[in-house]
Structure 1
Amino acid sequence: MHHAIVTETWPPEVNGVALTVQALEQGLKARGHEVSRVRPKQWPAQAAETGETLVRGAGLPRYPGLKYGLPATAQLQRLWRESRPDAIYVATEGPLGWSALRAARRLGIPAASGFHTRFDRYMRDYGAAFLQPVALGWMRHFHNLADATLVPTRELRDFLGNRGFDNVVLLPRAVDTRQFQPAFRDAALRQSWGVSDDAPVAIHVGRIAVEKNLALAVRAFRELQRLRPDARFVWVGDGPARAQLQREHPDFIFCGVQRGEALARHFASGDLFLFPSLSETFGNVTLEAMASGVPTIAYDYGATHEHLRDGSHGAAVSPGDENGFIAAARHIGGDADLRFVMGAAAREAVSRLRPEDVAAAFDELLAGLAQGKPHARLAAA
């Protein structure tokens, strides 16, 4: 079959949406399908790959280097008339995504959308909490143009279903446990951080920005450091809050964006993953930390709620309980034996999650849409 994917972010951009959508595309291709892709032109400019259509884009506020696609309904209609896909997956809610859903409806091509970003929660993080209902209504209108809206957790499926989103379908996530594994722990890398073998290293992986609630991660680490003065905090990633964080905390170690095996080595070389974000739709990094054998402290929603057992794999803290988050960081971070046991259990907990199974479920869903089959069974799974 021929499927089309429309996304406003794509590697080498590093974010959860880009990497998740890339994995979905690779999964379809591995199953023998033709996949075409539509996305904005990136900066620096790159030539289109085979089967790829690049459209005009504009800079995304607060996300330097990222672009959103400008409206392209007429262009997409021409493209899909010439090479009609059996089904379309629209991964992002920007102008390009809106154009894709309009073009699909006009041409009678079934389309699924992906709910990847909690823009309603971003309103709160950027001081406009009063706009949360408006953002949720805007997203509801967008996703209800599709024949199915794919979400990564049962919790989110139920939340959206209770707020007027139609045809919400669960598509679970997985993690590549061959890429992320404890065997990538690197003594030389830890030595470059200036830590001894037994010094606890807290690590944060992700965008360094206000919506990630990073002030809490800092407070939690400082409390751990009271107990273990030799503890160090390693930051992997980049973002608008990095410069200020570096100025205010010169003892923190900033490693920038890491990819592939280098990212796996950074994960596995940490001892405690601190992830205080309250704005995630899922949080792929939670599974990556667990697969790396690193106990994780995170709020109990998204990937944490689905996969992390409190007290066994780390700590799943009630959302908003900052004291509980800090106490867990001190307790787990200060106990090497406990960290070892939790890390091994976390690895085991995600060892049965297979990207191949996600690809098969995605394939089945798109094939069902292409054949006009109802997807109520999948939505209720």
Structure 2
Amino acid sequence: MTETIQAKRREQHITIVSETFPPEINGVANTLRHLCQGLMQRGHRVTVIRPRQRHESKGSVAGAGRGLFSHEHVVTGLPLPGYADLRFGLVRSSRLRRLWKQDRPDAVYVATQGPLGVAAVTAARAMGVPVCSGFHTNFHRYSRYYGVGILERLLCAYGRWFHNRTAVTLVPTRKMEQTIAAMGIKPAGLWSRGVDCGRFSPHKRDHALRAEWGLNANDRAVIYVGRLAPEKNLRMAVACYERIRGLHPQARFILVGDGPLRRQLAERHPDYVFCGTQRGEDLARHYASGDLFLFPSKTDTFGNVVLEAMASGLAVVAFDDGAASEHLRHEENGMKAALPRDEDFVDSALRLADQPTLLNRIRAQARLDALELDWNSQIEQFEQLVFNQPAGVGYHGINKQSISIL
């Protein structure tokens, strides 16, 4: 009987709606890549709806050969203000209803809360299709980093309206569940993240690459991986590295990624090593060739790079939020500081730079712990949360006993 139920579950048809998707590089796109791959491997039929990306022409054929989905529907895409390399999607909900009448999904998962997400939720509710959402990005908190902090309350209200129209909002950490509860978003389901420890591994350390960075065998590579943007709190990373360099002049700061702050940072700090965007095996080599990983963000809902750094055998310094709050144990497999305590963040990094024994012990334990964070268990949890939802209702119409509540 159990085998029959599992076989039936593997045949579900799910539609993933997102305004960002691979090959774009960001935490949401990375998460969706693993989600789609995992669902396909478990026998589900996956349809993706996304905006046309900036490298695609209107008549171009979508990359159906990526193995991430069974079908893909591309809608009009326009640049996202402040993130010109990303798009938001524009589509009428009536178009989605026509599409789903021809090929009705068993469930819809909306990963982003832009116009495309709104249209998808509206269409699903109208048709009685179960629809869930994901809280992947703290857009309301980003506003203060772009000079429009006055909009934060408005963005919070919008997020509350959007997510409460779905059956459940998936969050990656327990702290994020508390955050969205304070915003008035209920209920929440815990869906965390995994890491590919085959791709990200200490064995991919590249001594030739470290030599290109100007490092000798015992010199410290202080590394940051992510978007070079205001909301990532790079000011903290720079201040931290400068303190380290004051005591260890041979240390180098390695920044992997791109974004609106790159030019400014490069002009002010020409001695920093800017590696640009890296993908695949090249990204894995860059991680593994570092020593001490700085993750200064206070706005990320999770921070996949924390797990990737752990898997690569790096000593992570982060604030007690997102992935760090869930997976780092202070002075055991990483270092973490309370959100208001910037000086503790710096002190933790300085300790790692000054104490090779502590650094090496933490790096080894981080790798061991990352080996337990596989994606398979997270895909199974996603199935349980998304494929067991009531159809076409928001929060006030839900039987709370039917879902996993944090």
Secondary structure at 1:66's aligned position in 2?
A: strand
Say if 2:44 is the partner of 1:33.
yes
Give 1:179's aligned residue. Answer: 199
Give 1:24's aligned residue. Answer: 35
Give 2:3's aligned residue. Answer: none
- 1:331 corresponds to which of 351, 364, 369: 351
Structure 1 residue 291: Cα displacement:
1.1
Give 1:202's aligned residue. Answer: 222
CA contact (8 A) 2:388 2:403 kept: no
CA contact (8 A) 2:240 2:349 kept: yes
| Partner Cα distance (2:88, 2:376) in 1 | 29
| Partner Cα distance (1:197, 1:331) in 2 | 20
1:214-233 maps to which residues of 2 (within 5 A)?
214-233=234-253
Give 1:47's aligned residue. Answer: 61
| Partner Cα distance (1:377, 1:287) in 2 | 31
Structure 1 residue 371: Cα displacement:
8.4
| Partner Cα distance (1:375, 1:336) in 2 | 50
| Partner Cα distance (1:155, 1:124) in 2 | 21
Give 2:395's aligned residue. Answer: none
Which amino acid is the alignment partner of residue 109 of structure 1? Answer: V
Secondary structure at 2:141's aligned position in 1?
A: helix
CA contact (8 A) 1:5 1:36 kept: yes
Which amino acid is the alignment partner of residue 249 of structure 1? Answer: H
| Partner Cα distance (1:239, 1:56) in 2 | 24
- 2:156 corresponds to which of 136, 149, 157: 136
CA contact (8 A) 1:314 1:332 kept: no
Moved more, 271-280 or 127-136: 127-136
Structure 1 residue 280: Cα displacement:
0.4
CA contact (8 A) 1:368 1:374 kept: no
CA deviation map 1:180-239 (0-9, x unaligned): 111111111111111101000100000001111101101100110011100000000000
| Partner Cα distance (2:170, 2:379) in 1 | 13
CA contact (8 A) 1:365 1:375 kept: no
CA deviation map 1:341-370 (0-9, x unaligned): 110111122221110111111122222127
Say if 2:21 is the partner of 1:10.
yes
- Structure-2-length-normalised TM-score: 0.91
Which amino acid is the alignment partner of residue 248 of structure 1? Answer: R
Give 1:150's aligned residue. Answer: 170
Structure 2 portions without partners, runs of 5+: 1-11, 65-69, 393-397
Which amino acid is the alignment partner of residue 61 of structure 2? Answer: A
Moved more, 65-74 or 109-118: 65-74
Secondary structure at 1:164's aligned position in 2?
A: coil
Moved more, 122-131 or 90-99: 122-131
Moved more, 98-107 or 127-136: 127-136
Say if 2:105 is the partner of 1:101.
no
- Structure-1-length-normalised TM-score: 0.96
Give 1:351's aligned residue. Answer: 371
- 1:62 corresponds to which of 73, 76, 82: 82
| Partner Cα distance (2:403, 2:105) in 1 | 22
Structure 1 residue 63: Cα displacement:
1.4
| Partner Cα distance (2:239, 2:247) in 1 | 13
CA contact (8 A) 1:151 1:157 kept: yes
Which amino acid is the alignment partner of residue 325 of structure 1? Answer: F
CA contact (8 A) 1:8 1:40 kept: yes
| Partner Cα distance (1:227, 1:154) in 2 | 37
| Partner Cα distance (1:291, 1:375) in 2 | 36
Give 2:135's aligned residue. Answer: 115
Secondary structure at 2:389's aligned position in 1?
A: helix
Give 1:80's aligned residue. Answer: 100
Which amino acid is the alignment partner of residue 404 of structure 2? Answer: A
| Partner Cα distance (1:374, 1:36) in 2 | 27
| Partner Cα distance (1:225, 1:334) in 2 | 11
Structure 1 residue 375: Cα displacement:
6.0
1:220-299 maps to which residues of 2 (within 5 A)?
220-299=240-319
Secondary structure at 1:369's aligned position in 2?
A: coil
CA contact (8 A) 2:189 2:385 kept: no
Which amino acid is the alignment partner of residue 49 of structure 2? Answer: V
Shift of the 337–99 alpha-carbon distance from structure 1 to 2, 3 Å rule, reads: same
CA RMSD of superposed structures (Å): 1.6
| Partner Cα distance (1:69, 1:136) in 2 | 21
What is the percent sequence identity of the aligned residues? 45
